[in-house]
C-alpha cells in the first residue's frame, strides 16, 4: 500500500495495490456474508489496514452501523423491504438508488465502484449529489466507459456482479 504515501492527484493506485486491496476486501466481505450479514455501506473509509507487526498489510472491514442480517433463523431469508436508501451515494449500488433491499451482490457492486475509483482516480459521478442523476450515470457507465478504463478482467467481474440478485450467494472464487 505504498501508493497511499506516494500518490498524487488524481489519486490513483497501481494495478497491484488495487488488486491486493480488492482481494482482501472480497475475503472480508465473504466472511461477513457467510455470517449472514450485508454491510450496506462499502466505501474506502470503511476499510483499515493493520498497524502492528503482525497485522501490517492486512485489510479490515469496519463500521457495521448500517449492516443488516439477511437471514432470520435457520437461514430463512428475511423479507426484503422497499423504499430505503442505505450507503454512501458515490459507492451505492443500483438497488440502493432504487430503494430495493440490499443483498450480498450490492456490497460487491459498491466494492467494484471503490476499486474502479482507486485504479482510475475518479468516478464520473463523484461531484454530483442528486441521487437520481447519480443512478442514471451509474447505469450509463456500467458496462461502458467505466469498464473501458479498467483491465479487461474487470469486465467479467462487473458482469457477474450485475447478474446477482437478492437470493444469490456470490461465488468468491470467481471474483478472486
Q: Give me the residue spans of the domains in the chain.
A: 8-169
SS3 for 119-152, per residue?
HHCCCCCCCCCCHHHHHHHHHHHCCCHHHHCCCC
Mean pLDDT of 61-77: 83
Cα-to-chain-centroid distance, residue 151: 17
Determine which helix (DSSP H) or strand (DSSP E) holds 17, and give its type and residue range: helix 15-34
The whole-number pLDDT of residue 84 equals 74
User: Does 41 qualify as catalytic in the annotation?
Assistant: yes
Is residue 44 over pLDDT 60? yes
Tell the burial category of 33 from Cβ atoms under 10 Å away from its Cβ (0-12, 13-18, 19+). Answer: buried
- Confidence at 78, pLDDT banded by 50, 70, 90: low
Is residue 106 over pLDDT 50? yes
Q: Which CATH superfamily is domain 8-169 in?
A: Transferase(Phosphotransferase) domain 1 (1.10.510.10)
Rounded Cα distance between 30 and 44, Å, is 17
Rounded Cα distance between 115 and 154, Å, is 10
- Confidence at 45, pLDDT banded by 50, 70, 90: very high
Is residue 62 within 8 A of residue 46, CB to CB? The reply is: yes
State whether residue 77 is helix, strand or coil.
strand
How many alpha carbons fall within 13 Å on the CB side of residue 141? 22
Q: Among positive and negative, which fits the CA dihedral 71, 73, 79, 81?
A: negative
- Confidence at 80, pLDDT banded by 50, 70, 90: low
Average pLDDT, the chain: 89
Rounded Cα distance between 18 and 14, Å, is 6
Determine which helix (DSSP H) or strand (DSSP E) holds 69, and give its type and residue range: strand 68-69
Mean pLDDT of 110-132: 95
pTM of the model: 0.89
Mean pLDDT of 24-32: 97
Q: What is the pLDDT of residues 129-176, one digit of tens each?
A: 999 999 999 999 998 888 888 999 899 999 999 999 998 999 988 898
Rounded Cα distance between 41 and 52, Å, is 26
The whole-number pLDDT of residue 6 equals 53
Is residue 5 over pLDDT 50? no
36: DSSP letter: T
Q: Report which of 38, 171, 44 is spatially closest to residue 115, judged by C-alpha positions.
A: 44
Q: Find the catalytic residue in 41, 130, 145, 173.
A: 41
Amino acid at each position: 500500500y505504498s501508493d497511499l504515501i506516494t500518490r498524487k492527484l488524481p489519486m490513483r493506485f497501481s494495478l497491484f495495490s488495487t488488486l491486493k486491496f480488492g482481494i482482501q476486501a472480497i475475503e472480508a466481505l465473504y466472511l461477513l456474508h457467510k455470517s449472514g450479514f450485508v454491510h450496506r455501506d462499502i466505501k474506502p473509509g470503511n476499510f483499515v489496514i493493520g498497524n502492528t507487526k503482525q497485522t501490517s498489510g492486512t485489510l479490515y472491514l469496519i463500521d457495521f452501523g448500517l449492516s443488516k442480517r439477511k437471514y432470520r433463523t435457520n437461514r430463512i431469508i428475511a423479507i426484503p423491504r422497499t423504499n430505503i436508501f442505505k450507503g454512501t451515494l458515490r459507492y451505492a449500488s443500483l438497488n440502493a438508488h432504487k430503494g430495493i433491499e440490499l443483498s450480498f451482490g450490492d456490497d460487491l457492486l459498491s466494492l467494484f465502484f471503490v476499486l474502479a475509483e482507486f485504479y482510475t482516480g475518479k468516478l464520473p459521478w463523484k461531484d454530483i449529489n442528486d441521487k437520481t442523476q447519480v443512478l442514471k450515470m451509474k447505469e450509463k457507465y456500467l458496462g461502458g466507459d467505466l469498464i473501458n478504463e479498467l483491465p479487461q478482467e474487470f469486465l467479467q467481474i462487473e458482469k457477474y456482479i450485475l447478474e446477482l440478485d437478492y437470493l444469490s450467494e456470490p461465488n468468491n472464487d470467481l471474483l478472486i
